[in-house]
Structure 1
Amino acid sequence: MEKILNTKNIFLDEKLVDQKSVFEFIANAALKDKVISDSEALINGFNSRESEGSTGFEDGFAIPHARIKEAKEAAIYVVRLANGIEWNSMDGKPTKVIIALIVPDGKNDEHLAILSDVAVKLMDSNFKKVLNTATDAKKVLEAFSAKKQVSKTKANKEGLNILAITSCVTGIAHTYMAEEKLLNEVPKMGHNIRVETHGSKGVGNAFSQKEIENADLVIFAVDINIDNSRFAGKKFYQVKVAKAIKDPQGLVTEAIENGKELSGNSKVSFNSNSKAGKDSVMQHILAGISYMIPVIVMGGIAIAFSLGVAKAIWGPESNTMGQVPLKFADVANGTIIQLIGGQWYVPESLDTSMINLLNINEYAMVENGFIYALNNDLTKGAQLLSEIKSQWGPLRTLEMIGSGAFTLMIPILAGFIGNSIAGRAAIAPAMVGAFIGNDAGNFAAYGNMLPVQTPTGFIGAIVAGLLVGYTVRWINTWNVPRSLAPAMPIFFIPLVVGLGISLLFIYVIGTPIGYVMGKFGEAIESAYTGKGNVGVFLGLGLGVLLGAMASFDMGGPINKIAFVTSSALITQDITQPMGALAAAIPVAPLGMGLSTIFFKKFFTPDERGMGISAIIMGTIGISEGAIPFAIRDPKRAIASNVVGGMVAGGIAGALMVNNFAAHGGPIVAILGAVPYGWETVYFFIAVACGTTVTVLMYGSWMLADAGKPGSVKENHVNYLAKIATNKKDNISEINSSILKLKGEMSALRKEEKLTNKDNSSKLNDLKIKIEKLNSEIVNEKNLYKEAKLVAKTSYKEASKQEKEFIKSQRSGIKEFVANSKENYKKELEKLNSNDFRGNKLAMIENKQNKNLAKENYLNSINNDQVKRREKYVQMYNSKLV
């Protein structure tokens, strides 16, 4: 520690106003000390880490950290602020002490060891007190350098032998903070404890088989799923890691009272005895999306770049092998080669590899051993072959890699949704089911339905992940013989559940969806091919329809219908549908991404990070970037995306924008697939208008729903969300208890069959408990309805009076805002008049003062509004249940 922290790295009572200014301050100090070679790289490193999750902890402390190649050596910088700032900390309080860690790229162990050591020090109240009150840097340095006194606790023969596993999402700080707390506090209760950590450094202090055999109680304090099958038969209790940090002795008491014997199979789902252990469908879907997003980005960029460059080099109709796809026309005679259901039908004497190399899309004619393109010239295949580029060229290879990533995208989404629900046993069957559902050629045709062409896409992946996940979770409740338990996750579950979900897609889910979607595609195609040249009004209408379809499910079945139909029409020289579709495709990801920038208060740091990814994907025509936002907030996000897509598609359709490439987004216009000239201008106007509509609609909707700061509506919305969450959590907890009781009943019935033992009394007691719990669910729903009704009545009365009062205060509000604005302008003029050229630190301080002036200006307006409305908020709150 002494090597990387000294007094010159410690800054006390600095006047910094936000996270950005803190990062800039530290980066400039590190650059001055020659710890790093590039200050921007360090700032980006800090921001990148924050996008993964806030580094703000409790009690006003934050530990930002960055591992960058521009770092010459490891270093710690300590910055204590004069005033606390917002850091999205875990307890919601302002952050005042920042302990920043800088580590050269590649020194992973050093990075994790230092960070974990600092996190553990934050468990020491004396350490935190020194950092909060020290008057000079030497005292802070002494606090960091102080060695921890390790006292060995003798084993207590009368106490319980407790094993605990700790793990947080990042596996760095809370993992080891929980370990420290448990090791310090549990021995005071007279019990013996061993803690196994599952962090970024791997498994620490792993339990031996003998320790597991001798354990009286096993505690999981974890935020991620960890296989607990090795503890089968042991008394088991699971909570979130925060519980172990905040109240370790209370956790042990709860575990002793409420722990249950773990069934003899692999089970990794959360124990719901504690509210910390509850989960939700949304949580599982978002977990799957977090694994899918890197695959989307990789595949999307690879495909868009390879296609874009190929079209820029060889023309808008070419592919990544430099070929122009053959088109079809009527033929009087000759052999017709036709593509049906994904299979080529050709004469036996013909070399089919030649057809694949030619990339024939629809039809071709064979005569005297030559393949002919069915166009007016009937060009000989031999001449075509001389122009074909290698299928192993760099652009073709890049496209293959991107296509491979997109093929994996859907199964990965399903697999990790299942994994979030029921652990690794659910991954294989969920991935297989989603893979089957993502290929329409796998669906069985029955009735009057022909083979379908539309896969179930990401909607099918969500269905597969949820069905498999909850099925496997249910299977994990079975009381199987211990000798069969190891075979369950590796044989029974993959085989039975995997076959079940696959058959469901093949015979039940796939064909009806594909058939209905196919009919939509045929309707769109006939609208263009049956009318000849599409007029402005028809183009507008069809563009609006295509735009809505592109934006509704963002890469799902409806989006794919529009895309496949428009792509097929390109082969008939009808390129306007793809022009309208290409303008609408990027609207959803661009709109959602920009919303996280312009309305950032409604989004978490993780969601703002996803917003940047969505913007990148939107630029290259990958609509899947908007999926996380549509799932997070379906009503507002999907509606805003669809309206924006309709605007973009309608404008492009009405202005007859053509697109010769089967792709979308600004990249197709940049690379010339949309003809350069006015059509390119129209295309970008359409995209800009559609995106603007989406951002404004979504942002305005969120603002309207949230209410103005300090208003009755804001309090009403927050209260309704609070009671809805409480109802959901309470019912979920009750349902978990019911499920456990039913499991106990099932075990008792099996015991009766095997041993002829009479368990009727116990079964009756369990039945009474279940009935009581069911009545509690009804009571929870009634209490929620009552509270909601009272809140609505109170809101109606208070908001009406608030509205009348604010209306009467308009002139005063305008005057206050005008005066505040004038004072802000004067402050800026004063700060701008200073000349700090050549003095970099003074320039930084001046910039910080400008930010502070702006913050004070905005806060003054906000505080004035809150103060004026305070009376009516109190009126609303006074009548709540």
Structure 2
Amino acid sequence: MNMKLLAVTSCPNGIAHTYMAAEKLAKAAEEAGIDIKVETQGSIGAENVLTEEEIETADGIILAVDKSIEMDRFEGKRVLTCAVSDAIHKPGELIRRFESGDVSVHRSRKEDSEKPGISQTIRIHKKGRAQNPVYRSLMNGVSYMIPFVVVGGLLIALSLGLGGEPGAKGLVVPDHSFWAPILKVGEAAFTFMVPILAGFIAVSIADRPGLAPGMIGGYIAADGSFYGSEAGAGFIGGILAGFIAGYIARWIKSLPVPRVLQPIMPILVIPLAASILVGLLFIFVLGAPIASLMEGLTQFLQGMQGSSKVLLALILGAMIAFDMGGPVNKVAFLFGAAMIAEGQTFIMGAIAAAICTPPLGMGLASLLARSKYQPEEQEAGKAALAMGFVGITEGAIPFAAGDPLRVIPGIMAGSMTAATVAMLSGVTDNVPHGGPIVAAVQAVGNVPMFFVAIAAGTVVTALLVNVLKKPVQTK
């Protein structure tokens, strides 16, 4: 009887990595003669959802996830948890671990199972290096924050681009204009950014009891009036509020309480106590110092000129391309997204140009020197061009996986070039995304130079990678 496995894949953005991991797992299972069904938890929600009957009869479950997911349904099953990148790069190894019996059974932690109504989030069973829980919690918050920033940024960009009139302070939307309420809706969407970020960081740590204290702490962090500051604590304050709220809530969950109080712990006691504690901490201790730090950072960025801007662009471009959607990429992306809310849209402008350069560059490279690429890489090059247009850096992964020492330096050089050209020419971006698609929705300032930056980075990547690569050996 064939082994039957199930899997769940989910990355922070819920776009490329989620589906690439699912495809790789399905292909590896087919080659091994094993039945597998993969549930994808992408940006549009869960697809191909695993049923209770399928979970009951499965021999094991692979969880290739970079953010928190609920674990109740996998109780008592053999569960192997790994990063999404592991499912992309070594799916066969993950499947072989089930064949060898090298996978432990998932059991909920004792303190969680004693509290009704609280769903357990992901626990790491993988031997050796476990996924960083701080990174996982941060990416959980980022994944829920991004839609608010995208919607807010697009609405603001559209209202200014189509309804704005030039004035002393730049483009201004007149109060009587049709676009004035659209602008207000966009600004309202932006106000949710930090509370959502903080709330879902806390959820990742403490499950649902962390949501209210996390969002309340994030709101206080973003509103400087709570602690006598004109500037709020921004995204740094929101991140800190989320972690503080989450760990306070988790600590309260671990306290022994009479059984009669257990039903109200997750809905009343934990959220109330954690909200009070995180609120007081920010109002009287943390808020003002972090707000001063954010104000200093904003002034520093505003004052950057010449060589200092070039250095920032080089660093951001290198980070974006280095792991093509991985943790290093996400750090740079989160910084750029957060700076949009602080009014420093030129940072996201540089990142937006760098984001699409690796897939576009590798697509062009595969067209210019077909003899240096396998047939499947030539097909991947066509897909990479499409992915680059919509700003999906992961389109370069198939090339980097097969030849990392030649491809990664080339794509890093291209992204650094694109970011530098965009930074020096004053390209701006009001939306946390990249590629030509953001120019199509009027989210980019200085569109001509935006495309010049992308073209320059794409050409540098294609030429450098093709110089480094050798022709494919034919049999």
**Normalising by the residue count of structure 1, what TM-score does the alignment of the two structures yield?**
0.34
Q: Please list every run of 5 or more consecutive structure 2 residues that lacks an aligned counterpart in the other structure.
A: 1-13, 39-44, 60-67, 82-94, 318-330, 367-373, 375-382, 393-408
Q: From the superposition, tell whether residues 672 and 487 of structure 1 become closer, same or farther in structure 2 (CA, over 3 Å).
A: closer
Distance in 2, matches of 1:595 and 1:400, equals 39
User: Does the CA contact (< 8 Å) of 2:418 and 2:457 recur in 1?
Assistant: yes
Q: Say which of 337, 341, 350 aligns to 1:584.
A: 350
Pair 1:560 & 2:327 matched: no
| Distance change (3 Å), C-alpha of 1:473 and 1:556 | same
Deviations 1:298-346 (A, max 9, x none): 22322222222224xx4587888743xxxxxxxxxxxxxxxxxxxxxxx
Give the Cα separation in 2 of the matches to 1:53 and 1:475.
37
| 8 Å contact from structure 1 (residues 429, 497) kept in 2 | yes
> 2: CA distance between counterparts of 1:663 and 1:254?
43
Distance in structure 2 (CA, Å) of the matches to 1:263 and 1:593: 49
Change (3 A) 1:260 1:407: closer
Answering whether residue 195 of structure 2 is matched by residue 306 of structure 1, we say no
State the alpha-carbon separation in 1 of the partners of residues 162 and 192 from structure 2. 24
Q: Answer whether contact 2:153 2:430 (CA < 8 A) is retained.
A: no
1:648 aligns to what? 421
Alignment of 1:191-202 (within 5 A): none
Q: How many residues align?
A: 380
In structure 1, the residue matched to 2:221 is 437
2:359 counterpart of 1:423? no
> In the alignment, residue 455 of structure 1 is paired with which amino acid?
A
- The letter for the 2-side match of 1:685 is V
Distance 2:122 2:439 in 1: 50
Tell me, in whole angstroms, the C-alpha distance in 2 between the residues paired with 1:559 and 1:296: 9
CA distance in 2, matches of 1:476, 1:512: 30
Q: How far 1:691 sits from its partner (Å)?
A: 7.3
2:325 maps to 1:541: no
For 1:178, the aligned partner's letter is I
Q: Unpaired runs of 5+ in structure 1?
A: 1-47, 57-86, 100-117, 121-167, 183-222, 229-235, 324-356, 358-388, 445-450, 528-538, 567-577, 602-608, 619-635, 709-812, 821-859, 861-881
Q: Is structure 2 residue 137 aligned with structure 1 residue 284?
A: yes
1:514 matched to 2:291: yes
Tell me how far apart the structure 2 counterparts of residues 593 and 616 of structure 1 sit (CA, whole Å): 10
Question: Which AA in structure 2 matches 1:89?
Answer: L
Task: State the 1:432 CA deviation.
Answer: 1.4
Pick aligned residue for 1:463 from 201, 221, 240: 240
Indicate the percent of aligned positions where both proteins have the same amino acid.
27
- Alignment check: 8 A CA contact 1:548 1:643 kept: yes
For the pair 1:491 / 2:336, whether they are aligned, the reply is no
Matches of 1:562 and 1:50, distance apart in 2: 26
The question of whether the paired residues in 1 share the 8 Å contact of 2:356 and 2:454 is answered with no
Q: For 2:152 and 2:391, locate their aligned partners in 1 and report how far apart those are by CA, in whole Å.
A: 10
For 1:272-671, list aligned pairs within 5 A. Answer: 274-275=125-126, 280-311=133-164, 314-315=165-166, 322-323=173-174, 389-390=176-177, 393=178, 395-444=179-228, 451=229, 453=231, 455-457=233-235, 459-519=236-296, 521-522=298-299, 540-541=306-307, 543-544=309-310, 547=313, 553-554=332-333, 556=335, 560=339, 564=343, 583-584=349-350, 586-591=352-357, 616=390, 643-644=416-417, 647-648=420-421, 651-652=424-425
What pairs up with 1:861-872 in 2 under 5 angstroms?
Answer: none
Query: Helix, strand or coil for the counterpart of 1:474?
Result: helix
How many angstroms does 1:425 deviate by? 0.7
CA contact (8 A) 1:225 1:269 kept: yes
Work out whether 1:268 is the aligned partner of 2:234: no
Change (3 A) 1:316 1:559: farther
* Distance in 2 (alpha carbons) for counterparts of 1:50 and 1:559: 22
Shift of 1:435: 2.0
1:434 positional shift: 1.6
Task: Find the residue that maps to 1:268 and give its secondary structure.
Answer: coil
Corresponding residue to 1:178 among 38, 51, 55: 55
Contact 1:264/1:481, CA 8 A, preserved across alignment: no
Amino acid across the alignment from 1:53: Y
Distance 1:549 1:299 in 2: 27
TM-fit CA distance, 1:419: 1.8
Shift of 1:481: 0.8
Distance 2:46 2:440 in 1: 41
Report matched runs for 1:146-161 at 5 Å. none
Secondary structure in structure 1 of the residue aligned to 2:277: helix
Cα separation, partners in 2 of 1:494 and 1:548, compared to 1, 3 Å? farther
| Amino acid in structure 2 at the alignment position of 1:463 | L
Q: Please state how far the C-alpha of 1:88 moved relative to its aligned partner.
A: 0.8
Q: Per-residue deviation at 1:643?
A: 4.5
String of CA shifts for 1:267-316, please: whole Å, max 9, x gaps.
Answer: 4335859549x7633333333333233333322322222222224xx458
Tell me how far apart the structure 1 counterparts of residues 21 and 78 of structure 2 sit (CA, whole Å): 18
Q: Is the 8 A contact 2:77 2:105 kept in 1?
A: no
Contact 1:237 1:271 in 2 (8 A): no
Distance 1:271 1:434, change over 3 A: closer
Per-residue CA deviations over 1:133-160 (Å, capped at 9, x if unaligned) read: xxxxxxxxxxxxxxxxxxxxxxxxxxxx
- Say if 1:456 and 1:510, in contact at 8 Å, map to a contact too: no
Q: What one-letter code is carried by the residue in structure 1 that aligns with 2:199?
A: G
Q: Does the C-alpha gap of structure 1 residues 305 and 418 become closer, same or farther in structure 2, counting only changes over 3 Å?
A: same
Cα distance, 1:291–1:478 mapped onto 2, change above 3 Å: same
Q: What is the CA–CA distance in structure 1 between the aligned matches of 2:413 and 2:286, rounded to whole Å? A: 29
Give 1:586 shift.
2.4
Distance in 1, matches of 2:301 and 2:422, equals 14
Contact 2:194–2:222 at 8 Å: present in 1 too?
A: yes
- Contact 2:349/2:423, CA 8 A, preserved across alignment: no
User: Compared with structure 1, are the counterparts of its residues 441 and 592 closer, same or farther at alpha carbon in structure 2 (3 Å cutoff)?
Assistant: farther
Specify whether residues 411 and 255 from structure 1 end up closer, same or farther in structure 2 by C-alpha distance, changes over 3 A only.
Answer: closer
Alignment correspondent of 2:452 = 685
Q: Distance in 2 between matches of 1:499 and 1:592?
A: 46
Alpha-carbon distance change, 548 to 561 in structure 1, aligned in 2, over 3 angstroms: farther
Q: Is the 8 A contact 1:415 1:426 kept in 2?
A: yes
Contact 1:437 1:456 in 2 (8 A): yes
Q: Is the 8 A contact 2:71 2:121 kept in 1?
A: no
Distance 1:562 1:293 in 2: 12
Residues 472 and 454 (structure 1), Cα distance of their counterparts in 2 relative to 1, 3 Å cut: closer
Distance 2:443 2:118 in 1: 54
In structure 1, C-alpha distance between the alignment counterparts of 2:416 and 2:154, rounded to whole Å: 26
Question: What CA deviation, in whole Å up to 9, does each residue of 1:251-281 have, x standing for no partner?
Answer: 9x9689x9968324554335859549x7633
The C-alpha deviation readout for 1:179-235, integer Å capped at 9, x for no partner, is 3459xxxxxxxxxxxxxxxxxxxxxxxxxxxxxxxxxxxxxxxx932679xxxxxxx
One-letter amino acid of the counterpart of residue 210, structure 2: A
Which letter does structure 2 place at the counterpart of 1:488? M
Partner of 2:19: 53
Q: Which amino acid aligns with 1:88?
A: K
Q: Which amino acid aligns with 1:648?
A: V
Which has the bigger relative contact order, CA under 8 A and spacing at least 6? 2
Counterpart residue number, 1:224: 69
Distance 1:599 1:287, change over 3 A: farther
The alpha-carbon distance between structure 1 residues 487 and 686, as it changes in their structure 2 partners (threshold 3 A), is same
The residue type paired with residue 456 of structure 1 is G
Change (3 A) 1:690 1:594: closer
CA distance in 2, matches of 1:506, 1:645: 42
Per-residue CA deviations over 1:399-420 (Å, capped at 9, x if unaligned) read: 2232222222322222222222
Cα deviation digits, residues 742-788 of structure 1 (max 9, x gap): xxxxxxxxxxxxxxxxxxxxxxxxxxxxxxxxxxxxxxxxxxxxxxx
Cα offsets for 1:450-473 (capped at 9, x unmatched)? x4535331x433333333323323
